[in-house]
Chains A and B, each alone.
With several copies, the nearest count.
Chain A
Amino acid sequence: MVKILYFAGLREAVGTAREDITLEAGVADIAALRRQLAARGEPWAALTRGRSLRAALNQQMVGDAAALKDGDEVAFFPPVTGG
């Protein structure tokens, strides 16, 4: 089980702030998780389109190669615009 969080415009698009999912066989990094979710079609397909949606793993910004394990918290969101 991995906890997925969505923020800002992506949260509104997917219609939820949080879901718990089971990683499919072979899904071992952020890139693979993006593909697993994108396979649902729109709006999740945006996760593999371009490079704009960022990822955080256990509350640290990470790249697509970051390895996943059971119990992780993964967040997807647009580029930040604070300050």
Chain B
Amino acid sequence: MDAAVSVRSESFDLGVEMAALTAGRSDVGAVASFVGLVRQLGEGQPLLSMTLEHYPGMTEAALAEIVVEAGARWPLLAVRVIHRHGTLAPGDPIVLVLVAAAHRGEAFAACEFIMDYLKTRAPFWKKEATAAGGRWVDARDSDDSAAARWS
């Protein structure tokens, strides 16, 4: 399995990453992907920005471990994970997960698995800024239950 993870402040382009993942190979029948974006708040003050803090070193190791675990569960051909840190605006992409496999079932399952595990195991924290000030985002119980269904 060709696997790469990166944590960086720069954005990414899904088409470019997709092309790089499948370049020169014809054994890939399915690529499932996920992009998470900064979403405007549903209520209260509008979101001005979102800042992502992380734990350098541990973050990369945690992401790599999640990918290895996915590769042990499904026959994957290539995986790419990019997670941004720093200050982002509403609409900006935060995270990308791309999974290439021979068939769609395993590509979908592994992509969702990686996102679910990333949400509960990768050391990132989000802080929302509105005109009223900054507020750390609370962890969601639904993320714990999403991750738990794979064990």
Contacts and interface: CB of A to CB of B under 8 A. Distances in A.
Chains A and B touch each other in the complex, with CB atoms below 8 Å apart: yes
Interface of A: 5, 7-9, 11, 56, 59-61, 75, 77-83
Contacts, number: 73
Given A7-B123, A8-B136, A82 B55 contact: no
Contacts of B138: 79, 81
5 contacts: A7-B125, A77-B123, A80-B121, A81-B119, A82-B123
A17 B62 CA distance: 20
A5 B126 CA distance: 17
Q: Name the residue in A9, A11, A59, A81 with the highest tally of chain B Cβ atoms < 10 Å from its Cβ.
A: A81
Contacts of B124: 80-83
Given A77-B123, A78-B125, A59 B57 contact: yes
A83 B37 CA distance: 8
A75 B58 contact: yes
Contacts of A8: 53, 125, 127, 136
A59 B61 contact: yes
Interface of B: 36, 52-55, 57-58, 61-62, 83, 94-95, 104, 115, 118-127, 136-140
A77 B126 contact: no
Contacts of A82: 52, 54, 83, 94-95, 118-119, 122-126
Contacts of B83: 82-83
Given A8-B53, A59-B58, A75-B55, A80 B36 contact: no
A81 B55 contact: no
A75 B54 CA distance: 12
Nearest to B53: A8
Contact of B122 (A9, A11, A60, A83): A83
Contacts of A75: 55, 58, 123
A56 B58 contact: yes
A81 B57 contact: no
A83 B139 contact: no
Given A59-B57, A78-B139, A80-B125, 5 more contacts: A8-B125, A59-B55, A80-B124, A81-B125, A83-B36
A60 B55 CA distance: 11
